Structure 1
Amino acid sequence: MRYLLTPVFAAVLILPTTLPAQSDGDAPLVSSDSGAGGGSSTELFFMVEELSEEIRQLRGQIEETNHELDRLNRQSRQRYVDLDQRLVDLSSRVAELEDASGNASSSADSEESDSASSADSGDSSGEQGSASYRQPGEEERKDYASIQNLIHNEKDFDAAIDEIYQFLDKYPEGDLTVNAYYWLGELYLSQESYEQARQAFTIVTSRHKSHRKAPDALFKLAVSHDRAGNPEKAKEALERLQSEYPETESAAKGRQYRSEEMG
């Protein structure tokens, strides 16, 4: 009996010392799980902060874009006002010239026949009383070439419009000035800004009738009216084109346009 109890007693003595060892071994498992949860929370926090910063940056970019759009809209409206004022001023000057021309004609009618003959010989040179235009200097040619490069090579129409306005301010009169007005109309027409295009072409067709760009401008004036929803004004411009420049390539284009586009 004594020999039987001895192993049991030994097991009881060993058991209390073994259990704490197992408990100590379990402790790191609980600590490890807790650490993993803390790391996930920290990572999530930084992700939220990063996304919040990206949102703030995007909002800033949107605000900058809106400011730029507002600036461009204001600039566009100012261009329209400037061009409209130019047209008003030029129309007034044309009216003054026409009045002066009318007075000169009345005076000429009272002169003797030899003066009339001299006047007739002066008209023998031909087209529309061809006016002379100031020829450009080297710097003016370079400025105009820069505009043409923006239009035909770089296709940067907004920049070309900006340079045309600068060109017109710098060279208000001259042969290339008329060209610049024509190209201003072309650019506005391509951007579907039909009213601005109409005004630019009108400056060429009303003030510079003898210029080489006048027939083209009159044709494009008709196109501007038509695309803006004014077919009657377009027809008037096309009829004027046939009447004033019947043998030009622009007149042929006008006939084709009226037949194919306007019915």
Structure 2
Amino acid sequence: MNSNKMRTLALTLLVGAATQVVAAPAPVTELNGNSAQGGDNSLARLERMIEARNQVQIDMQRQLDQLASEMDELRGLVERNSYDLSQMLERQRELYREVDALSRQPQKEVDETSDSTPASTETYTSNVSENEAYESAVNLILKEKDYPGAVKAFQAFLSAYPESVYKPNAHYWLGQLYFTQSQLKEAGEQFTAVASFSDSNKRADAMLKLGVIAERSKKPDEAKKYYQQVIELYPGSTSSRQAEKNLKALAK
């Protein structure tokens, strides 16, 4: 009996304790002024971080754009230098052939009192002094690499032999020498002189060079005119194919 009373009392106490726990109000944390201020600071820091990251991305993109532009410029310079180098190598090969042909020509003295002038269609002259003067100027380029000396030698040659069959070639090589030294005005004058000889085998390349000079002088319309003339007058030639490439590049 006492045992049942004790059990009943214990159960009553447990139920009462449980009721108090369930009925107890849930703790409430109020947001005071300090908590609100802390939230604002966190939001401001987050905004600054996002802004800084965006600025870094903008700076990186700007640097990438600049690098891409510089790469395009370098690529253009490499292509142009490759073309100039190939042209110079081709001209050197032609010079070697000319020198070799000159060395095979019979060296005959001519009567200085003779007033006969070699025909413009001749490739070589029988005038020993004229041959030697021209060959000497050529050797300054090929053998001695004395380009300033070659300029003077070709100028002296043209002055001494104004009606020489080598006149177109002398003008052409003067143009080449000036062109490689970026003296575009002087080079243009020499190539124009070559272009005036309709039967010169250097005429096509001289006209092509006039187009390149016009292009580098920021005269695209004039450059197109020269390129089109080369294509029309010398179809299928090396100069014509290069003129077509240059025209396409100008159209971009």
Q: Which has the higher contact order (CA 8 A, sep 6+)?
A: 1
Of structures 1 and 2, the larger Rg is shown by 2
Larger % of helix: which?
1
